[in-house]
Amino acid sequence: MARYAETSEEGIRERSGWLIPLGVFLVTFALAALFLLFYLAPSPPSFFHEPVNFTSRSDTIILKVHSHAFRIPANYLKYRSDRQGGERREIKLIALLPDMQGYSDWEDTSFRSNAPDTPTIEMLIHDDPVKITERDWFRRIYQPYISNPSGVRGPYGLTQYVFRRDSGYRAVDLFVGRTSEGPILIQCERFSQRIPSPSCHREMPIAHGVALSYRFKRAHLARWRAIANGVSTLIRSFDAQAAH
């Protein structure tokens, strides 16, 4: 019995001698695997890095911004991730002027072009922390930087304003269009060697806590009123909470 007990104790000491290093190895291996997974695994695609992925599908995708629901056909969505539906901070859309049609295979070249007269219009529905109208935007944001407060007669029935040269807006022109629903503010890049294909941009509220910005090529500025009406009609047709 004594001999058996001595042998058993020696066996236990031998096993414990390799069990401890094995345990340390396994813990170290697990931690290393977690480290590699966290730092080296590919991250989910984001709005800024995800490649554009058009589709001609027209099935409806339900998306929400600031809990406001939109029902958008898949061929208006630029990114595959948005076609998964759900809550978003922003939704990137694209359509073709003049009829505001979504992507189709036979118009692929137009949708991918960045020529100065490209007929695409890009739209961004996004969370709006500012929550001000275009009239207030002009008065509170732009007006302090304008060098000609009264404006001058611009092209296509627009009033043109010039920003001071010491302002951050000095490289763009501001055009204001008058409509029965209020002013429309359009900020346009100037043509230059650095900007050979200038665009125009408008920002507008569309729901509580939700705004829309849209961008089109400056070559189409003459159609600003038709573009504004077309965009408003299109977005209303997507708004799942609007009274249609």
How far CA 209 is from CA of 71, 87, 145, 183, in Å, comes to 18, 14, 26, 20
Instruction: Quickly state the pLDDT bin for 17 (edges 50, 70, 90).
Output: low
Count the residues in the chain.
244
How far out from the chain centre does Cα 70 lie? Answer: 15
Q: Quote the pTM value.
A: 0.78
| CA angle (124, 130, 136) in 5-degree steps | 100
Any idea which residue has 């920002």 for tokens?
203
What does pLDDT average to over the chain? 85
Query: pLDDT tens digits for 58-75?
Result: 999 999 999 999 999 999
The pLDDT, as a whole number, for residue 23 is 55
Distance (Å, whole) CA 63 – CA 4:
74
DSSP sequence for 62-76:
EEEETTEEEEEEGGG
Query: Which candidate, 184, 218, 186, places its Cα nearest to that of 199?
Result: 218
Q: Note whether 231 and 121 are within 8 A (CB).
A: yes
Instruction: Quickly state the pLDDT bin for 45 (edges 50, 70, 90).
Output: very low
